[in-house]
Amino acid sequence: MALLEVKDLHKTYRVTRTQNQDVLKGVSIDFCHGEFVAILGESGCGKSTLLNILSGLDSDYRGFAYVDGELICGFSRGEMDDYRKSKVGIIFQSYNLINHMTVAENIDIALAMSDMPKEDRQLRVKELIDKVGLSEHSIKYPSQLSGGQKQRVAVARALANEPSILLADEPTGNLDKEATEEILTLLKQIADSGKIVICVTHSERVASECNRVITLDGGIIIKDEKRNENEAGGFESELNTQPSSIKLREIFKLAFRNVVQNKRRNNMVIVALSIGIAAFVLILSITAGIRGFVETDLRDGVNMLQIDLTIDQNGIGIFSSEQLHTLQNTNGIARVVQSSTARLGAENMASFSSDENGQFIPMLELNSTFYGFSAPIMQDGRFPNSNNEILISQAMARRIYDGDDFINVVGSSVWLEIYNKQQFEIVGITNDTSGFANAFITLNALSALHENNTAPINKVYIIAEDINWVPVLARDLGFGFEVFRHDETIDDILDYINLGAVVLTAISIISLIVAAIMIFIVTYISVVERTKEIGILRAIGARKKDIKRIFVFEAMFIGLAAGFLGSLFSFLIGLIVNLSMRSTLISLSLLFPAIGIIIATAVSVLSSLSPAGAAAEADPIEALRTE
């Protein structure tokens, strides 16, 4: 029974838009196991076209081609790839070896598409290299081999997955007499082992070694001559493999090798992309660092539960007792603090605050403590405990004593006047850096200063019961009072920081776009440069997705390298700035470099998808014709 058969095969090429050329005109023929067949004919008679159809590289024809009784043109795309991988081995006139792979690697790439374990693959490669007589050349590259040696490598690669059919297109066309004899002997041994060997040739010498000679002329068979039968040979190998896609590790290996081989060009792309990534990561780090600085140094000095109320925008309106009573009984308010403006010393103004319990409460809380005064006191100072004692802030001390030389003012006296004037002894200075000029006295002392006069309460601080009440109270009290929330000021600052970050990020994105265009161009150039390699891989059974993955993984390696380099740049810059400023203005969190690496990789991969897809869709026949 015929293993390979074609019936009424027609093939037409379009020469121009209006002119076609018939190459095969109703060819019918079959091939059986053990045949060593020569297909003779002049150039253009259809020999190579017939071989392309038998190999599954060309599916654009009319008629029928069968293998083991199955219609080849009925194969799915995956089945066609598997057919070329496991059923057919192809030997080319120009060898079609991958130049950046060694002899062993050129053979192993065919095995990489099977399920054979790595150890068995290594043994199989060694076996094939020994069979074709290249044991001493396994680690050489094609450029280091003679023509005959290259063709032996091509034969070994074609035999890697133990195909039933071996197709050779002018296998001795570029060889000298001695190399020709070596290749013919090798092909004859393969046919003797029971395989079909079909050679397209112009050479009568090649035909003389075959046991069947088919002559084509003008697209038809004019002669089919059977000669001596081959003897049983011994080029057999027990092999049990199933076709599959190229293993991911092999694709990684191929991609990494290609990136390294074109390192000069790829390094330029990596540096360009790393600059954009470094800028992007620095913007994220600076934004986070400044936000952290604001949160730590400003927000921590603000009572998040505090809302300031005044009667008018100028803060000079006086609260009535009814208004104060209403506030004290409003749901959600834990405490109401009344504040008066008084004259301290000469013309210096200070705000005095107290509640009904006599607790000392500054105009602004200096940390997250909501009840009572918790800022530390400098030197040997203390809280006031009598009606003639006063505690002042550093800013107030500077105002009174005109500058920074205020350390020894504890124990001195100062005049304070609201309605009545009274002398107070300074018993302490708060060790805070908020910059607010505050002073604190007991509630009894404050009452004594008012003495028979209505207290001029022009500002009220309310402390909410919890953080959820703050926006509710701010909204409701806004209908009767001027409302000020300190945390909103911090939020405004943070909003400006975020706005600046957005603007700077947009600028850095431009550099990422430029880098993405470069990666697209580099991948496209790589596809063009390696078109023949694409054709070789497709001819030995690589699937479209395998080809696409190779180029996508190359771009991924470029992206990873750029991401690591850019992240390293940003980290070093942040470290230097923080050390020189003695402050964490640039966040050194590992999250942002990780984001940078992910973005660099994503940009690279996305930029490569289009040219990688084009590589996968390349016609293998046209790709193999590329020089």
Give the span between the Cα atoms of 598 and 483, in whole angstroms: 45
pLDDT for the residue 556:
93
Kindly report which listed range (34-38, 493-497, 612-616) carries the lowest average pLDDT score.
493-497
Dump pLDDT digits (tens) for 172-225: 877 888 888 888 888 888 888 888 999 998 888 888 889 899 999 888 999 888
pLDDT for the residue 536:
87
Q: Determine the average pLDDT of the residues in 537-557.
A: 89
Higher local confidence (pLDDT), 453 or 450: 450
Rg (CA), the chain: 44
DSSP output for 289-339: HHHHHHHHHTGGGS-TTEEEEESSTTS-PPPPHHHHHHHHTSTTEEEEEEE
Residue pair 139/92 in contact (Cβ under 8 Å)? The answer is: no
Residue pair 458/315 in contact (Cβ under 8 Å)? The answer is: yes
DSSP output for 411-433: T-EEEEESSSEEEEEEEEEE---
pLDDT for the residue 602:
92
Dump pLDDT digits (tens) for 136-150: 998 999 999 988 888
Give the span between the Cα atoms of 152 and 114, in whole angstroms: 22
Residue 461 forms beta bridges with which residues? Answer: 308, 337
Using a pLDDT cut of 90, give the percent of the chain over it: 12
Residue 559 confidence class, pLDDT cut points 50, 70, 90: very high
pLDDT for the residue 297:
56
pLDDT score of 322 more than 50? yes
What pTM, to 2 d.p., does this model score?
Answer: 0.66
* Highest mean pLDDT, choosing among 85-89, 129-133, 407-411, 551-555: 551-555
Give the span between the Cα atoms of 624 and 155, in whole angstroms: 17
Higher local confidence (pLDDT), 417 or 173: 173
* Highest mean pLDDT, choosing among 286-300, 304-318, 483-497: 304-318
- Give, for 606, the enclosing helix (H) or strand (E): helix 591-616
Residue pair 563/271 in contact (Cβ under 8 Å)? The answer is: no
Residue 362 confidence class, pLDDT cut points 50, 70, 90: very low
Average pLDDT, the chain: 79
Residue 347 confidence class, pLDDT cut points 50, 70, 90: very low
Residue 613 confidence class, pLDDT cut points 50, 70, 90: very high
pLDDT for the residue 611:
93
Using the CB atoms, write b or e for 107-131: b if 16+ within 10 Å. Answer: bbbbbbbbebeeeebeebbeebbeb
pLDDT for the residue 367:
28
Edge to edge, the sheet with strand 88-91 lists 88-91, 165-169, 196-200, 36-40, 212-217, 220-226
Greatest CA span in the chain, whole angstroms? Answer: 137
The CATH superfamily holding the domain 4-244 is P-loop containing nucleotide triphosphate hydrolases (3.40.50.300)
Residue pair 381/391 in contact (Cβ under 8 Å)? The answer is: yes
- Give, for 242, the enclosing helix (H) or strand (E): none
Dump pLDDT digits (tens) for 76-124: 888 888 888 888 888 887 888 888 889 998 998 888 877 788 888 889 9
Phi, psi of 533 (to 5 degrees): -60, -40
- 269's tokens: 């792309």
pLDDT for the residue 332:
87
pLDDT for the residue 370:
25
pLDDT for the residue 92:
83
Residue 68 confidence class, pLDDT cut points 50, 70, 90: confident
List the domain boundaries for the chain.
4-244, 259-297+493-624, 305-466
Dump pLDDT digits (tens) for 259-309: 888 888 888 888 888 888 888 888 888 877 777 766 665 555 556 678 888
- 337's tokens: 């603090």
pLDDT for the residue 568:
92
Phi, psi of 389 (to 5 degrees): -120, 150
Q: Determine the average pLDDT of the residues in 148-165.
A: 88
Give the span between the Cα atoms of 494 and 295, in whole angstroms: 9
